[in-house]
Amino acid sequence: MSFEIWFFMNSKAFYIIFSFIIIISLVIIVLFAQSIIGPFNGINNGVKTGSSKNKDIFVTPAPDVEKTDRIPPLERKDPIIGNPEGEITIIEFADFECQYCAEAQKTLEEILKIYPDKIRLVWKNYPLAFHSYSKKAAEAALCANEQKKFSQMQNQLFEHQNISLLPKDIKEYAKDIGLDMDKFNTCFDGGLNEEAVSRDIAAARQFGVDSVPSFFIFRTNSDQGYFISWAATLNELKATIDALLK
């Protein structure tokens, strides 16, 4: 066998062996990485997103609800629905131009009926940047809250989210629910709640909220609870609340 043939055959064998070693090494690295950080969970393109971190495995139907010890603080201007002294607190981050938020509101109304006097529902605004009118709508809701008509304004804004949330139309909704328009216009036109909305946005980002609606659910006197980052179903909310009431 000539030297050239011998050299070619041995070089080819060398590269095959070398390539095989590289592939085996990459497989080992990937398996090691997964053992540390866990498998990748893709985002469901629907309402619900999942995470493998801190899952609290309820028997059913809420296997993806996450435990959390990071609870956003409440502020003086936060609207509260239900019992202010309720045993269970639900903090909702939502956006008035969000269709899923409007649907979630109906579910929360059912929760308040199922657990009378047990729920303190706290609203926090998280108007998404690509929604043109939701930030001003959020300010309007807080202005209405100062006249103790947050729920009425909230209903108006959700009912008209696909019609108009222009400031001029929001003023018509304010009239329809019987607000003192002098006080409302001073608050709304003057942007007196702009800073409060900005604080809600900052809190959402600080506490890991990246979608709406999102919920923090916990016993009122506790600093631990659960986090749901989608428009939870009635059964999912009930399962979470029942776990806290045990």
Q: What is the pLDDT of residues 191-219, one digit of tens each?
A: 999 999 999 999 999 999 999 999 999 99
Beta carbons of 58 and 242 less than 8 angstroms apart:
no
pLDDT of residue 40: 37
Tokens of 86: 């309720």
Please state, in angstroms and as integers, the Cα–Cα distance from residue 98 to each residue in 81, 105, 135, 156, 211, following that order: 20, 11, 12, 14, 10
Alpha carbon 132 to chain centroid distance?
19
- Residue located via tokens 């010890």: 69
pLDDT of residue 246: 87
pLDDT of residue 17: 63
Beta carbons of 67 and 54 less than 8 angstroms apart:
yes
Enter the pTM of the model.
0.77
pLDDT of residue 51: 42
Please state, in angstroms and as integers, the Cα–Cα distance from residue 62 to each residue in 73, 74, 132, 186, following that order: 25, 26, 33, 44
Which residues in the chain show pLDDT less than 50? 3, 5-8, 34-61
pLDDT of residue 29: 67
Beta carbons of 91 and 216 less than 8 angstroms apart:
yes
Tokens of 150: 């947050």
**Could you tell me which residues come within 8 angstroms of residue 160 by beta carbon, excluding any fewer than 6 positions away?**
169, 173
pLDDT of residue 12: 59
